[in-house]
Amino acid sequence: MKKFVITIAREYGSGGRTVGKLLAEELGVPFYDRELLRMASDESGINETLFAKADENLKSTVLWKAFRKSYSGELIPPDSEDFVSNSNLFQFQSKVIRELAAQESCVIIGRCADYILRDMDHVLRLYVHAPMESCMERARVFHPNLSDSELRRLIQKIDKRRAEYYEYFTGKHWKDADNYDLCFNSSQLSWDQCVRLVKAYLDIKLG
């Protein structure tokens, strides 16, 4: 098969990360998730904890909405006071993602990779979702002590944060199907069926 990149945006508890890991193993390619933070840190010289903090704590404020800026590829130089701004941290992550996509086949989780690589023909952009009840069932494995209401609020909080992060850096809505090549409900399929579905679509698109 030709060189390819699979990007996966996913609702919390939908199993999108699991699908990504299984796809990478099945296809024999690298899998990138939080590793991208370390790679962006190495690229920029900025401490990895700053990338992680920006990744997790982006807030929806009046200033945030006024400053929205999509990926441009322009890096801010080290002598600027904005060198460690959220915008520049994202630009370094984007640079790493684009370099990976140009060099190798791989699977990339989250971080607006579908948008960053939108001009590359060898990219398959996925969005994985599932009903709340299914997401709660899967998420309970990692949060066994939470009540149903607490678990529901946690899922909604994480998905809200992901949606805000996506809109902040792309100007687009996270759940908009127009952003992706393939959207599917993982609750209707086994993990093996999810992998087979994506592999079949990949073969159709790039084969």
The string of pLDDT tens digits covering residues 46-98 is 666 765 666 545 544 433 443 445 445 554 444 444 454 566 677 888 888 99
Q: For the whole model, what pTM was predicted?
A: 0.84
* Residue 16: partners with Cβ closer than 8 Å, 6 or more residues away: 8, 9, 10, 109, 126, 128, 186
pLDDT value at position 168?
83
Which residue carries 């948008």 as its tokens? 115
Q: With contact defined as beta carbons under 8 Å apart, do 17 and 109 qualify?
A: yes
Cβ neighbours around 99 below 10 Å, total: 12
Nearest CA-CA partner of 24 in 77, 100, 138, 130 = 100
pLDDT value at position 1?
65
Cα 1 to Cα 201: distance, rounded to the nearest angstrom: 13
The string of pLDDT tens digits covering residues 113-167 is 999 999 999 999 999 999 999 999 999 999 999 999 999 999 999 999 899 889 8
Cα 174 to Cα 198: distance, rounded to the nearest angstrom: 20
Cα 113 to Cα 99: distance, rounded to the nearest angstrom: 12
